[in-house]
């Protein structure tokens, strides 16, 4: 049945050549762990992307139960943890994945730096990768407030003060993020919107650009 559905779609969209071009792309020998044990360091980027996919899927699940207002945010998280089937597991995956994806991106960045993969002609991909890093940090910071407990509240206040210390634009950034004179309902709403809509859209565009550049230039080799 699935084959018939696939053939029906392929007859109209003809995406098999595109898929075969991706699937049949040869992997360089220096990134094949079967040939070189050191090739495992070239898996950091793929592992980062895999964790990112888990974050997206688990985040979509969480948004079905989360209520982004100060009266119901904590209660909705508690309901998810205690009443929803597998809710505690999915939230745990999302919580720990947020830290793990930063660690993997850091390791991936170190690999790129120490193997000289940021040099010409790959400078643009290095810039795109660093932008992805900053977006990931932004996702972590904005998502931290969403449970609306004491820890997330006071941690966000510290984050906003750090933003306020940015030269020239600091007060503007803080006001934009905080949405008022205190960390309250408007802050939670803005952090939710940034975390769920704005930053994921930017991340998607950057990832597409990142992969297109890699597809064009190939996977870099060691120095």
User: Cα separation of 38 and 40, whole Å?
Assistant: 5
pTM of the predicted structure, to 2 decimals? 0.89
Please give the angle made by the CA atoms of 47, 208 and 111, to the nearest 5 degrees: 40
**Cα–Cα distance measured from residue 90 to residue 77, given in angstroms and rounded to the nearest whole number:** 12
d(CA 201, CA 206): 9
| Tokens 């998280």 -> residue | 77
Distance CA 67, CA 49 (A): 28
Cis-peptide into 177, omega within 30 deg: no
Closest listed residue to residue 177, CA positions, set 191, 158, 157, 196:
191
Contact present, 217 and 122 (Cβ < 8 Å): yes
Range list of H helices, 115-198: 123-145, 150-164, 170-178, 185-193
The confidence score (pLDDT) of residue 37 equals 52
Consecutive sets of 10 residues in the chain, 223 residues long: mean pLDDT of each? 84 77 67 63 90 97 96 96 96 97 96 89 94 97 96 96 94 94 95 97 96 84 63
In order of start, what are the domains of the chain with their CATH numbers?
Answer: 41-217 (1.20.810.10)
Q: How far is CA 166 from CA 68, 119, 131, in A?
A: 28, 30, 18
* CB 130, CB 84: distance < 8 Å: no
């Amino acid at each position: 049945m699935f084959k018939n559905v696939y053939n029906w779609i392929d007859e109209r969209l003809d995406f098999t050549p595109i898929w075969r071009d991706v699937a049949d792309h040869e992997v360089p020998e220096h990134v094949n762990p079967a040939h070189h044990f050191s090739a495992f360091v070239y898996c950091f980027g793929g592992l980062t992307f895999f964790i990112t996919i888990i974050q997206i899927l688990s985040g979509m699940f969480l948004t079905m139960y989360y209520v982004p207002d100060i009266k119901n945010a904590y209660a909705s998280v508690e309901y998810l943890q205690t009443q929803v089937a597998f809710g505690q597991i999915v939230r745990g995956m999302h919580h720990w994945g947020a830290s793990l994806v930063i660690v993997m991106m850091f390791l991936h960045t170190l690999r790129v730096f120490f193997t000289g993969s940021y040099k010409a002609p790959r400078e643009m991909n290095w810039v795109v990768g660093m932008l992805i890093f900053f977006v990931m940090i932004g996702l972590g910071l904005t998502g931290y407030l969403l449970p609306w407990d004491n820890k997330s509240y006071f941690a966000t206040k510290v984050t906003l003060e750090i933003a306020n210390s940015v030269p020239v634009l600091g007060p503007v950034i803080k006001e934009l993020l905080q949405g008022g004179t205190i960390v309250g309902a408007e802050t939670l709403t803005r952090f939710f919107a940034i975390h769920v809509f704005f930053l994921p859209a930017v991340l998607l565009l950057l990832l597409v650009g990142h992969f297109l550049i890699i597809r064009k230039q190939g996977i870099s080799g060691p120095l």
